Amino acid sequence: MANKSIANDSGASFSVWMHTRLPAYKQELPASCEADVCVIGAGIAGITTAYLLGLEGRRVVVIDDGPIAGGETSRTTAHLASAQDDRFTFLERYHGAAGIKLIAQSHAAAIDRIESICTRESIDCDFRRVDGYLFNPPGGPSKFLEEERKAAQRAGLTTVELLPRAPLPSFDTGPALRFPNQGQFDPLRYVRGLAAAIDKQGGHLYTGVRAEKIEAGSPACVVTATGQRITAKSVVVATNAPINSLVSLPLKQAAYRSYVIGFTVPKGAIPLGLYWDTEDPYHYVRLVEESATSDVLIVGGEDHKTGQDEQLDQQTRFDRLEKWTRERFPMVGELGQKWSGQVMEPVDGVGFIGRSPGHDANVYLITGDSGQGMTHATLGAMLVTDLIGGRPNPWETLYDPSRNIVRAVGEFLRENANVAAQYLDWLGKGDVAAVSEIKPGTGAIVRKGARLLAVYRDELGLCHARSAACTHLGGVVSWNALEKTWDCPCHGARYSALGRLLNGPAKHDLAVAELKDEP
């Protein structure tokens, strides 16, 4: 049975991992407490950071508004790759040959660290070393793979090779790049093991606690929404999208939704591995080992900017993924899972990890996963742990949140022109003309004079109205029918059907609104 407390914190759909039960960690947070480090966010980035700091003997407090791993960590497909979603040929334009070496090195080191933690803490999470394969879609540019192979080798991945095809018996991919020594695992079982290790270290984890603000200083102070104060020498913001940056970082990265389906497949019918094509948006494929007789094939893709492109409904996206899969893997059986997740795409393809811009030197952040959340979170935890410990780290400059992005100014202008266009939604009529048109279990934007309201009708037929203005920078939220959430098309903040904040960069719930004389 799925763990609904996990699923409902990030959406209504259920991923293949959500059968894993995680402790609630709902012990009462004292009115005031002290720590060496306060970590905000209990996904894989925050939990890994807390674990690594605990190994060094630091007193750590972790807080999260939702459950452990209740956000995007529960929605990943958990590809562990030093190969890059944004491709080395793209990344080299912005970061040079030295930069892509550090990118490859850091992600490879993250896989190594995950493996070593599994061994050290005896975490049973189906960690496996596998090969990854990159291939073109039909009609794709034939020379691209050779160019990417050369770029990957310049990045230090000298064993990458171009093969006649990927080792998939059911369809001929054509030429494929093989990236050896990649990995895969079950992310929730891994995080559960990390949380148990933090407990043993003497760290403290609190769920159901929202950070309201960070007061600068040495020490810093994290103030919760209910008034508790956590004083800490250092603060780490690991909330997927940072809640302590109003404009700077939201302008330099964009939120995207990605869709995933899972099928039963006979054991051994498909070789273990990670498989990616170069289509735009690209498809990503892996196996989850389920039983002695069957596995689950998970396939993702159909990405679009969060809160946008809703005219193409989610079922159409799932239908496309299913068609793509059955054409290439005809042995797949029943379609068992359908879910979506959110990724943060930096304009120059590299995450933002380190000292938070505009804050004191003791406030750090981890964001900008670029679709590789598991390795990004882990290398982020490694880098921040070094910075807090006063140690040099070769990745610091590459991932610096304050770095100059002038080489990616074209991407920056395109993304922010798109954001600016979303504010025209304030001139629109809304999704429906009247509240009475909203069916039970669905939501819609309704215009009431000068106001736009986000109205959700629950399964009992009762309507719940909130302001449609995102509490980050005032974009008009849109209804996500799959996840039953309100998503902001500007910078990716997300809210539950009843307006509770689920995902930054916003820090507050949608404002309550009144519906007068409405059914």
Same domain? For 434 and 498 the reply is yes
Does 374 share its domain with 447? no
> How far apart, in Å, are the Cα atoms of 412 and each of 95, 406, 418?
15, 9, 10
In a domain, 119, yes or no: no
Say which residue the tokens 């004389």 belong to: 517
The domain of 326 spans 127-180+252-345
Check if the beta carbon of residue 453 is closer than 8 Å to that of residue 513: yes
Q: Residue 200 is encoded by which pair of tokens?
A: 């043993």
Residues 6+ apart with CB under 8 A from 436: 518, 519
Q: In the listed set 321, 345, 369, which residue is the last one of a domain according to the structure?
A: 345
One domain for residues 243 and 314: no
Instruction: Give residue-wise pLDDT tens across range 401-443.
Output: 999 887 777 887 888 888 888 888 888 999 999 999 999 999 9
The strand ranges marked E within 290-334 are 294-305
Q: Is the same domain home to 156 and 206? A: no
Answer yes or no: are the C-beta atoms of 302 and 258 closer than 8 Å. yes
In a shared domain, residues 359 and 405? yes
Angle 182-186-192 (CA atoms, 0-180°, nearest 5)? 125
Q: What are the two backbone dihedrals, phi and then psi, of residue 172, each rounded to the nearest 5 degrees?
A: -90, 110
Q: CA 446: distance to chain centroid?
A: 30
Question: Which domain CATH number covers 444?
Answer: 2.102.10.10
Q: Are 3 and 18 in contact (CB under 8 A)?
A: yes
Q: Is residue 82 part of a domain?
A: no
Q: What is the pLDDT of residue 517?
A: 60
| β-pairing verdict for 32-40 and 60-64 | parallel
DSSP bridge partners of 342: 257
Residue 169 within any structural domain of the chain: yes
Q: Is residue 421 part of a domain?
A: no
Q: What per-residue confidence (pLDDT) applies to 483?
A: 95
**CA–CA distances in Å: residue 250 to residues 156, 222, 241, 243:** 31, 21, 8, 10
Examine the domain organization and report whether 265 and 331 are in the same domain: yes
Q: Which three-class secondary structure string do you get for 324-363? A: HHHHHCCCCCCEEEEEEEEEEEECCCCCEEEECCCCCCCE
At residue 439, the 3 state secondary structure works out as coil
C-alpha to C-alpha distance for 392 and 54, rounded to whole angstroms: 19
SS3 401: coil
Tell me if 418 is assigned to some domain.
no
pLDDT tens-digit series, residues 506-519: 999 999 998 876 66
Residue type, position 504, single letter: G
Cβ atoms of 424 and 436 within 8 Å: the answer is no
- Spatial separation of the C-alpha atoms in residues 149 and 388, rounded to whole Å: 36
Q: Are residues 368 and 392 in the same domain?
A: yes
The answer on 165 and 62 residing in a single domain is: no
Give CA–CA dist 148/516, Å, rounded: 60
Among 446, 252, 253, 242, which residue's Cα sits nearest to residue 345? 253
Q: Cα 1 vs. chain centroid, distance in angstroms?
A: 24
Q: Locate 102 and state its tokens.
A: 């550090």
317 contact partners, CB below 8 Å, separation of at least 6: 259, 302
**Which ranges constitute the DSSP H helices of 394-459?**
396-399, 409-422
**Distance in angstroms between the alpha carbons of the first and the last residue of the chain:** 36
Q: Assess whether 340 and 355 both reside in one domain.
A: no
φ/ψ bin of 509: left (φ > 0), alpha (ψ from -120 to 50), beta (otherwise): beta
CB of 488 within 8 A of CB of 455? no
**Are residues 313 and 170 part of one domain?**
yes
Burial class (CB in 10 A: 0-12, 13-18, 19+), 218: exposed
Asked if residue 454 belongs to a domain, the reply is yes
Consecutive sets of 10 residues in the chain, 519 residues long: mean pLDDT of each? Answer: 48 91 78 95 98 98 94 96 96 96 98 98 97 94 94 98 96 96 97 96 95 92 95 96 86 94 96 96 95 95 89 87 97 95 95 88 94 97 98 97 84 83 88 95 94 96 96 96 95 96 94 80
- Scored b (16 or more CB within 10 A) or e, 269-293 reads bbeebbbbbbeeebbbbbbbebeee
- What pLDDT does 518 receive? 64
C-alpha Rg value of the chain to the nearest Å: 22
> Six-digit token pair at 402?
């304050």
Nearest Cα residue to 110 out of 346, 345, 374: 374
d(CA 73, CA 470): 23
Q: CB of 68 within 8 A of CB of 42?
A: yes
Q: Count of domains in the chain?
A: 3
Report the distance separating Cα 90 and Cα 84, nearest Å: 10
How much of the chain, in percent, has pLDDT values that exceed 90? 82
**CATH number of residue 312's parent domain:** 3.30.9.10
From the list 369, 164, 344, the residue with the least C-alpha distance to 254 is 344
User: Could you tell me the CATH number of the domain that includes residue 10?
Assistant: 3.50.50.60
The number of residues making up the chain comes to 519
Q: Copy the structure tokens of residue 43.
A: 């996904």
Asked whether residue 142 is domain-assigned, the answer is yes
- Examine the domain organization and report whether 45 and 162 are in the same domain: no
The SS3 of residue 495 is strand
d(CA 234, CA 221): 9
- Domain co-membership, 358 together with 298: no
